[in-house]
Amino acid sequence: MKTIKIHFKDTWTEVSTGNIQDILYSTETIHVYDEETASEQLKVLHRSVGVHTEYGIKHTRELLNTNHIETRKANLSKEEMFDFILNHKVHIEPDGSIWENTAGQKVLKKYHVSIDNVKMSGYDLEDAINEYVSRQRAN
């Protein structure tokens, strides 16, 4: 299985004044079992990129970056993640590092994640939990 993270920037601008109403950075995560499925799902997500104007507000969606993450043994569902967090000692705090896209824009902070006193740096919570579970299963 393969995990792909697609990073987007959404901007809403008032057409009449040019004032930016809101900016949102987001990450879509898809889990795929083969390259054909990955290609199809990426095409669907890439279709959301572009400009759309409605009711005097222009919405612009930009693709910032795509990360292909190596296959992990563990890839918990949202429900499994929630159960994991309830049953383990999980602590997160910003580690001060910032992810930058190819244009040099600062987009995403990474974290120190501690799970049952095992410390990991440079992860988001989802990746840290999956990495922890993979390590536990390997032992």
Q: How many domains does the chain have?
A: 2
Task: With CA atoms as reference, report the closest residue to 121 among 130, 131, 110.
Answer: 110
- Rounded to an integer, the average pLDDT of 15-44 is 83
Whether residue 7 is found in the same domain as residue 44: yes
Segment 70-107, tens digit of pLDDT: 655 667 888 998 998 999 999 888 776 666 666 677 66
Name the more confident of 88 and 30: 88
Whether residue 36 is found in the same domain as residue 54: yes
Instruction: Determine the pLDDT at residue 15.
Output: 95
pLDDT bin (cut points 50, 70, 90) of residue 1 is low
In the DSSP assignment, the letter for residue 118 is: E
Check: CB of residue 60 under 8 Å from CB of residue 10.
Answer: yes
Is the whole model's pTM more than 0.75, yes or no?
Answer: no
Instruction: Determine the pLDDT at residue 83.
Output: 92
Check: CB of residue 50 under 8 Å from CB of residue 112.
Answer: no
Q: Is the pLDDT of residue 117 over 80?
A: yes
Which of 52, 69, 86 is the last residue before a domain boundary? Answer: 69
User: Residue 27 is part of which domain span?
Assistant: 2-69
Check: CB of residue 85 under 8 Å from CB of residue 78.
Answer: no
Q: Is the pLDDT of residue 53 over 90?
A: yes
